[in-house]
Amino acid sequence: MEKNNGKLRDFLDKKKKEKIYFYEVERSDENEIPQEIKLLIKKIISMRKQLIRWWEEKTENDKEKRFFRLPLSNNFFQNFLFFNNSHFYNDQKRDFLYSLNFEEDKIERGILGKSLNKLLLSDKDFSNVFYCSSLLSRNFKEEMKYFYIFLLCFQRSFINPKTKGVANNIFFYAPEIDFCYAINKKTKLMAETKEDTQNFMRLIFKSIIDSLIEKKSQYSLENMYLIQYDRLDNQTQENVEYIGISKIVSTILLDDKIRESLNKSLPFRKLKENQYVWSWVLEELIKGNPLYPIVLGHVSLSVKDKDRKISGNTIFYALSTDIALNEVSIIENKYLFTDDFFEKLSIIGGLPQRIKQIVGKLYAISNLVEEIFSNEEKNIAPELFSALRKKNKNAFVNIILKNIIGKKGKEIERMADYLFKNILNNENLWEYYAMAIIVGLLGGYKNG
């Protein structure tokens, strides 16, 4: 063919028709064609027929194998055009390699389809609203050298909790990749090994706390999501739940002593003999719920059953945390539209220290109760608890004063000062400080 290249090209240009691979040789022109070209054309036609016959024998009876497909599951990645069923091997290969491009200006029409998942980049003409900021391609390029590995293994990152009422596929998202990976890995292991997975959120929070001990990352704590899918395809995204921990709570959690003291479960309601409802105190804090109701229920059990020990240390830290958070809330409401707002709100940075300061005060009054009241006098605990539940602070103070009349000493002066400053003159938070006295009467200051 190289020898007759020029003649063959001239002939093909002259005789070219719509079907580029098939040319008819008219009899009237045969005399014009050199003999060597005639032989070459016959060989080409014969070879073409052989190839067609071979192809039909190999593929016609098995249409599923007619065109090779990339061995990737398309359950989740239907947005990518390289999974288009009309694409043949070369088209699919081209689109797949193109989708791994790191250049932002190329991540447009050539990669994604128009039916888009909310967590994938959208075409400019079909933009959608993000649930959170997308990870930029340069982050993948700088921090993950083998981005395509994450692409191909993405389905395996989902957790299947096998819990009634919870989606089958859940993925924890945080902006820091190391933190995100650690939480998903820990939660997945817990879901696979623990028999009781009824409270899946508790598994998530336990993983967060475990990772928090290893990686102190306040930014990640403030930006966390649970992405839930019923099935792994682009049309059945079931829910995206924001579970970010507020900045103020994450500041508290980053303190080892406070976190350790609150990382306990307390019984707070009796169902029947030797069966109670328990609450994980740290979980309630993470959810943004007040801790006082748990403390109230826990103390109530000890008031009714004197032999039941009370968890004083956890109670004092729970009460102190609620007090400190309420103080911040009062500041926010009072100074919201004033020039002093940000200056007053700077207390958040010193919140752990403020909590520990309040804990010291509660421990001090609890110890003072031990010094002032005899064992017999400590029986006023149920009466005080009744006044507390009725939110009657005057009755609460009168019960104590009635039992210390006639006693003298610095201890009595300290008790009177505490009652005056923290209960009588405290409209919003007096119940928290009053609870510390009851805990002291029940011996809670001795128990961790």
User: What is the per-residue pLDDT across 267-326, written as a single tens digit (0 to 9) for each?
Assistant: 999 888 888 899 999 889 988 899 999 999 999 999 988 778 888 899 999 999 999 998
Region for residue 274 given its phi and psi (left: phi exceeds 0; alpha: psi -120 to 50; beta: otherwise): left
pLDDT for the residue numbered 162: 65
Average pLDDT over residues 220-227: 72
| pLDDT of 111 strictly over 70 | no
Looking at per-residue pLDDT, the higher value among 246 and 439 belongs to: 439
pLDDT for the residue numbered 137: 65
At residue 366, the 3 state secondary structure works out as helix
Whether 37 contacts 8, CB under 8 Å: yes
- pLDDT digit string, tens, across residues 161-177: 766 555 567 888 877 77
pLDDT for the residue numbered 391: 93
Separation of alpha carbons 240 and 440, rounded Å: 45
What's the pTM? 0.61
Average pLDDT over residues 62-85: 54
pLDDT for the residue numbered 415: 94
Most confident of 89-93, 211-215, 400-404: 400-404
pLDDT for the residue numbered 172: 81
Distances (CA, A) of 102 to 70, 106, 108, 136, 153: 21, 8, 12, 9, 19
Residue type, 81: L
Element housing 240 (H / E)? strand 237-242
| pLDDT of 109 strictly over 60 | no
Distances (CA, A) of 397 to 21, 27, 393, 401: 104, 123, 6, 6
Average pLDDT over residues 409-420: 93
Distances (CA, A) of 183 to 143, 160, 224, 255, 292: 19, 14, 11, 20, 29
pLDDT for the residue numbered 416: 93
The DSSP line for 309-365 is ---HHHHHHHHHHHHHHHHHHHHHHHHTTSTTHHHHHGGGGGHHHHHHHHHHHHHHH
pLDDT for the residue numbered 71: 55
pLDDT for the residue numbered 217: 60
The C-alpha angle 424, 402, 375, rounded to 5 degrees, equals 110
- pLDDT digit string, tens, across residues 184-222: 888 888 777 765 555 677 777 878 777 776 766 655 566
Separation of alpha carbons 6 and 24, rounded Å: 19
pLDDT for the residue numbered 17: 44
Whether 293 contacts 420, CB under 8 Å: no
376: how many CB neighbours lie within 10 A of its CB? Answer: 7
Token reading at 384: 């005080």
Distances (CA, A) of 130 to 119, 232, 240, 341: 6, 19, 11, 31
- pLDDT digit string, tens, across residues 252-271: 888 889 988 998 899 999 88
